[in-house]
């Protein structure tokens, strides 16, 4: 290694290797991703580009370095399956017996199922109550797809209608930070992509899902401690304007009380940057069921579950590939 050209070649080959691995191949694989269809019958293309205002908000997010403290990626440790009853059927006693059988298991094969709240503690009374409650309702939980399929079959044989739901799990998801892990598809139309490396503040991948109110976000940006007790976030007063009320108060003015309230005759209104940022934050939701990250989207149980809703649920479940849960 006494020659410059030799050292140069060594450097060149080492760096080209790494360049091909982590620049070229990612570009070929994920740089060329296209929109995909979401799973389920009401299939839509995903993702869609953010609306204009939210797109501007992304730039406010970038300019103020929000990604220094907030990640936008959630993980999951695995997937579990929930056996859910959509219709109690006509022969409820046999359904109850089947449910209890599933929970009991045999001596050789301990049960693969864990009862969920309405069935807990497991007993015929609880099972009867669970059948009377609002359906569809998840009753059993398992991590074994074969057992889940068998259970659905057993329950369907008792005139009830059952199906299994795919439910991603993990500490991030238990915190309510998302419904499934984030995948490369979720970031397709963003520039720049800021997945973040720090959780000085909570993850924001699905903040629009859990906090859909722009008014909440504006107030939170102006005075974080006012809306989140014990928050360590700095306030962003420069995104707001304190101005004299002209003729009538602005409908956008923040509702402030106590020491934060502006002097009489004044109001605090968000600047266009703050409005855009709030629009961006509420647009953050990565919860569409995808082939690479499946989950069953259960429509909120309504007062009267119609047949069409139940069948669409069943269809969406069937569309989910039998995912092997990580366990």
Partner 1 sequence: MSVTSSTPPPSAADPVGTALSPIPPAQIDASCRLPLVVLFLSGAVWLVIASAFGLLASIKFHAPGFLADSAWLTYGRVRPAGLNSLLYGFCVQAGLGVGLWILARLGRTTLAKPGLVAFGAACWNLGVTAGVLGILAGGSTGFENLEMPRYAARVMLLGYLMVVLWGVVTFHRRRERPAYVSQWFLFAALFWFPWIYSTANLLLLAFPVRGMAQAVIAWWYSDNLLVVWLGLVGLATVFYFLPKLTRRELYSRYLALLTFWMLILFGSWGGIPMSAPVPAWMPVLSAVATVLTVILVIAVALNVHLTLEGRCSEFLATPSLRFIGFAVLAFIVAALMRIMNAVPEIGRVTEFTWFTPAREFLNSYGFFAMAMFGAVYYIAPQLFGQRFPSAGLVRAHFWAAAAGVLLYVVPLGIGGIVQGLKLRQAGIAFTDIAQGTLPFLRVSTLGDVLIALGHLMFLANLAGLVVRFYRALAVSAWAAATAEVPIAEVNA
Q: Within 18-77, which residues bind partner 1 (CB under 8 A)?
A: 18-19, 21-23, 26-27, 29-33, 62-69, 71, 73, 75
Q: Between the CA of residue 215 and those of 72, 100, 218, 322, 326, what are the distances in Å?
A: 21, 48, 5, 41, 40
Is there binding between residue 326 and partner 1 (CB under 8 A)? no
Give the residue with the Cβ less far from partner 1, 145 or 224. Answer: 224
User: What is the residue-wise DSSP string for 116-137?
Assistant: -GGG-S-SHHHHHHHHHS-SSE
Nearest-approach distance from CB 33 to partner 1, in angstroms: 6
| Spatial separation of the C-alpha atoms in residues 312 and 309, rounded to whole Å | 5
Strand partners, 79: 168
Interface pick for partner 1 out of 105, 189, 321, 324 (rule CB under 8 A):
189
Q: CB under 8 A: which stretch of 102-110, 223-231, 247-255, 257-265 binds partner 1?
A: 223-231
Judged by CB under 8 A, the chain residues 76 through 135 that form the site for partner 1 are: none
Burial class (CB in 10 A: 0-12, 13-18, 19+), 193: middle
Q: CB under 8 A: which stretch of 125-133, 168-176, 257-265, 301-309 binds partner 1?
A: 168-176
Nearest-approach distance from CB 176 to partner 1, in angstroms: 9
CB-CB contact of 221 with 277 (8 Å): yes
| Spatial separation of the C-alpha atoms in residues 179 and 181, rounded to whole Å | 7
Q: CB under 8 A: which stretch of 88-96, 208-216, 221-229, 257-265 binds partner 1?
A: 221-229
Interface pick for partner 1 out of 104, 153, 175, 327 (rule CB under 8 A):
175
Q: How far is it between the farthest Cα atoms of the chain? A: 88
Q: CB under 8 A: which stretch of 113-121, 152-160, 170-178, 309-317 binds partner 1?
A: 170-178
Interface pick for partner 1 out of 163, 186, 267, 287 (rule CB under 8 A):
186
Interface pick for partner 1 out of 51, 52, 105, 171 (rule CB under 8 A):
171
Quick one: tokens of 307? 């047949």
DSSP letter, residue 145: H
| Spatial separation of the C-alpha atoms in residues 229 and 80, rounded to whole Å | 34
- State the SS3 of 24-88: HHHHHHCCCCCCEECCCCCCCEECCCCCHHHHHHHHHHHHCCHHHCCCCCCCCCEEEEEEEEEEC
Nearest-approach distance from CB 305 to partner 1, in angstroms: 30
Judged by CB under 8 A, the chain residues 226 through 255 that form the site for partner 1 are: 228-239
Interface pick for partner 1 out of 52, 105, 195, 321 (rule CB under 8 A):
195
Nearest-approach distance from CB 327 to partner 1, in angstroms: 16
Binding-site size, partner 1 (CB under 8 A): 74
For residue 166, the SS3 value is strand
Give the residue with the Cβ less far from partner 1, 146 or 200. Answer: 200
Stretch (H or E) spanning 270: strand 266-270
Stretch (H or E) spanning 174: helix 171-174
Give the residue with the Cβ less far from partner 1, 30 or 146. Answer: 30
Is there binding between residue 315 and partner 1 (CB under 8 A)? no
Nearest-approach distance from CB 259 to partner 1, in angstroms: 12
């Amino acid at each position: 290694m006494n020659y410059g050209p030799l050292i140069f070649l060594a450097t060149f080959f080492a760096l080209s290797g790494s360049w091909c691995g982590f620049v070229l191949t990612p570009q070929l694989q994920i740089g060329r991703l296209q929109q995909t269809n979401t799973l389920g019958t009401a299939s839509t293309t995903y993702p869609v580009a953010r609306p204009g205002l939210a797109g501007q908000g992304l730039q406010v997010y970038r300019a103020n370095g929000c990604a220094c403290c907030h990640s936008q990626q959630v993980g999951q440790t695995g997937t579990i399956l929930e056996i859910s009853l959509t219709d109690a059927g006509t022969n409820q006693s046999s359904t109850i017996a089947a449910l209890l059988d599933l929970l009991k298991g045999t001596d050789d094969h301990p049960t693969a199922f864990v009862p969920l709240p309405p069935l807990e503690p497991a007993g015929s009374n609880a099972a009867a109550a669970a059948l009377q409650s609002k359906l569809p309702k998840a009753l059993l939980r398992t991590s074994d797809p074969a057992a889940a399929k068998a259970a659905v079959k057993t329950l369907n044989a008792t005139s009830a209608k059952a199906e299994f739901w795919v439910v991603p799990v993990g500490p991030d998801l238990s915190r309510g930070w998302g419904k499934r892990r984030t995948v490369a598809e979720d970031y397709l139309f963003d520039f720049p992509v800021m997945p973040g490396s720090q959780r000085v503040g909570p993850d924001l991948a699905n903040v629009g899902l859990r906090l859909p109110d722009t008014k909440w976000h504006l107030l939170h940006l102006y005075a974080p401690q006012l809306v989140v007790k014990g928050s360590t976030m700095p306030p962003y007063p420069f995104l707001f304007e304190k101005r004299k009320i002209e003729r009538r108060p602005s409908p956008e003015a923040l509702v402030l009380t106590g020491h934060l309230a502006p002097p009489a005759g004044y109001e605090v209104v968000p600047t266009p940057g703050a409005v855009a940022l709030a629009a961006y934050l509420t647009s953050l939701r990565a919860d569409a069921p995808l082939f690479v990250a499946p989950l069953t989207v259960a429509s909120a149980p309504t007062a009267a579950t119609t047949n069409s809703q139940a069948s669409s649920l069943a269809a969406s479940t069937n569309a989910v590939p039998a995912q092997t849960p990580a366990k």
